[in-house]
């Protein structure tokens, strides 16, 4: 079967051929032609056009052509759904859809700039999407720093210096070290309101006032705390760390503070989580449409 679309592909027009070849039509022939020739060549070559206005395989509302392929061909695969969000964000310049969207757009913008032959670009793109699918299928739940050097460094510092200090007065160097650790934690799990406001070109006071409307009625600080609790649940269920270690790794000042906030947020204690994760009252997912609202 032949499939045809516009020349100079970058994101959706490489993602869709990858989807076609890997899940719909392994022997598919992908054809790229100038925009004005797509429909006439489709009729001449008996090819199916895609990613073009006013045809079946195209964008619908805020979804891109890749989304329609999934729906049309009933491809029910969580990994493909994850890729769809990334492609959608990259192709529509809505990077709030998925954290990886900006990276995908940057990669293919650079490749399209360097590679002028569309078929050559497609072949390389197929390999990249193969890798993305493996990530979405098997590795998406892992963090780059999970059980890695940064996390191990924090634990080493905690066990060597902070834990041993006990109830003794903390010296100035230890307080400074604690601040450095806190900075590292914040870098991994949060952005300051000031940073976010700058990235979005929105006044911090407006963002602070409007934030709760689109994030489950949580303030910015409450939302960041929720993110830390979710990270704590992940460590409780997938790592052999003590509660005090997890408290430090997730940005809480001490175990008692961590225990109180954890109970408040989940309705469970940490030991119950370790005994059986199914008992926990899951923290609701955030309805992240803030960026759409503030940009209109």
What's residue 262's pLDDT? 80
Looking at 31-45, 59-73, 129-143, 249-263, which range is the least confident one?
Answer: 249-263
pLDDT tens digit sequence for 154-201? 556 556 555 555 545 555 545 544 444 444 444 444 456 666 566 566
DSSP assignments along the chain, one per residue: -EEEEESS--SHHHHHHHHIIIII-TT-EEEEE-GGGHHHHHHHHT-EE-SSTTSSSS-BTTB-HHHHHHHHTT---HHHHHHHHHHHHHHTT-TTS-TTHHHHHHHHHHHHHH---HHHHHHHHHHHHHHHHHIIIIITT--TTTTSHHHHHHHHHIIIIIHHHTTSPPPHHHHHHHHHHHHHHHHHH---HHHHHHHHT--HHHHHHHHHHHTTT--HHHHHHHHHHHHHHHHHHH----HHHHHHHTT-SSHHHHHHHHHHHHSS-HHHHHH-GGGS-PPPPP---HHHHHT-
Residue 294: per-residue pLDDT: 32
Query: pLDDT (tens digit, 9 = 90+) per residue, 102-115?
Result: 899 999 999 999 99
Percent of the chain with pLDDT over 70: 68
Q: Which domains does the chain have, with CATH numbers?
A: 2-139 (no CATH), 149-294 (1.10.10.60)
Residue 264, pLDDT score: 79
């Amino acid at each position: 079967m032949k499939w045809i679309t516009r020349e100079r592909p970058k994101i959706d027009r490489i993602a869709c051929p990858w989807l076609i070849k890997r899940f719909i039509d392994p022997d598919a022939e992908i054809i790229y032609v100038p925009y004005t020739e797509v429909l006439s060549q489709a009729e001449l070559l008996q090819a199916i056009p895609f990613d073009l206005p006013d045809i079946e395989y195209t964008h619908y509302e805020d979804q891109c052509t890749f989304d329609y392929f999934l729906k049309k061909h009933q491809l029910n695969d969580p990994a493909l759904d994850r890729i769809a969000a990334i492609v959608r964000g990259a192709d529509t310049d809505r990077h709030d859809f998925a954290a990886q969207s900006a990276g995908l757009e940057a990669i293919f913008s650079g490749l399209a700039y360097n590679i002028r032959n569309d078929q050559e670009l497609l072949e390389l793109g197929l390999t990249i999407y193969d890798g993305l699918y493996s990530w979405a299928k098997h590795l998406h739940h892992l963090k780059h720093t999970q059980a890695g050097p940064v996390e191990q460094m924090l634990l080493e510092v905690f066990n060597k210096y902070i834990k041993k200090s006990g109830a003794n007065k903390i010296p100035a160097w230890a307080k400074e070290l604690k601040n450095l650790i806190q900075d590292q934690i914040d870098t991994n799990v949060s952005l300051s309101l000031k940073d976010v406001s700058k990235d979005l070109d929105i006044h911090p006071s407006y963002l602070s006032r409007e934030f709760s409307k689109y994030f489950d009625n949580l303030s910015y600080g409450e939302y960041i705390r929720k993110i830390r609790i979710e990270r704590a649940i992940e460590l409780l269920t997938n790592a052999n760390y003590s509660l005090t270690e997890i408290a430090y790794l997730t940005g809480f000042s001490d175990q008692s503070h961590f225990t109180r906030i954890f109970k408040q947020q989940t309705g469970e204690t940490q030991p119950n989580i370790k005994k059986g994760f199914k008992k926990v009252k899951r923290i609701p997912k955030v309805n992240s449409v803030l960026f759409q609202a503030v940009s209109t």
